């Protein structure tokens, strides 16, 4: 029977990775935020993702990986080679982007966001 990775197994696999693939269907993930992207970047792992997704917008804004227009094998291999050839830069961009995204996407930021909405909605909190 197949099962999900435990939290420890997941982070062990992520830590052992050099590059994280997030090759998602753009129609399904155009507006979906990815915790995987944040986790990968927080560990300095460059990401390869699909154009037309929320993740692609983040890569285009911050760097830290490559956005693919197609999922052709040769394009995926070319992206891997490009990251491998300049891994230090991609990893540094990923880590910096992870810090920026984490500042915007954490429990304290969410609480502040909700508090602002409530304050604007009825004038009190």
Percentage of the chain exceeding pLDDT 90: 58
The secondary element (H helix, E strand) that includes residue 78 is: helix 73-85
Strands 47-50 and 20-22: parallel
- The answer, as to whether pTM is greater than 0.85, is no
Helix, strand, coil percentages (3-state) for the chain, rounded to 5, are 60, 10, 30
Supply the pLDDT for residue 1: 47
Q: Which domains does the chain have, with CATH numbers?
A: 7-122 (3.40.50.2000)
Query: Nearest-CA neighbor of 27 among 8, 2, 51, 45?
Result: 51
The secondary element (H helix, E strand) that includes residue 99 is: helix 87-104
Supply the pLDDT for residue 125: 47
> Over the stretch 20-66, which tens digit does the pLDDT of each residue have?
999 888 888 777 777 889 999 999 999 999 999 999 999 999 999 99
Which positions ≥6 away from 120 have C-beta within 8 Å?
none
């Amino acid at each position: 029977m197949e099962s999900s990775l435990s939290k420890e197994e997941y982070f062990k696999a992520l830590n052992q990775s050099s590059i994280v693939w997030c090759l998602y269907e753009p129609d399904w993930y155009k507006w979906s935020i990815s915790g995987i992207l944040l986790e990968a970047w927080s560990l300095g792992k460059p990401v390869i993702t699909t154009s037309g997704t929320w993740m692609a917008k983040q890569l285009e804004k911050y760097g830290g990986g490559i956005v693919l227009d197609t999922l052709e094998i040769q394009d995926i291999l070319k992206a891997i080679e490009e990251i491998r050839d300049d891994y230090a830069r991609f990893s540094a961009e990923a880590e910096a982007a992870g810090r920026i995204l984490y500042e915007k996407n954490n429990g304290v930021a969410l609480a502040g966001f909700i508090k602002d909405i409530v304050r604007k909605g009825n004038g009190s909190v």
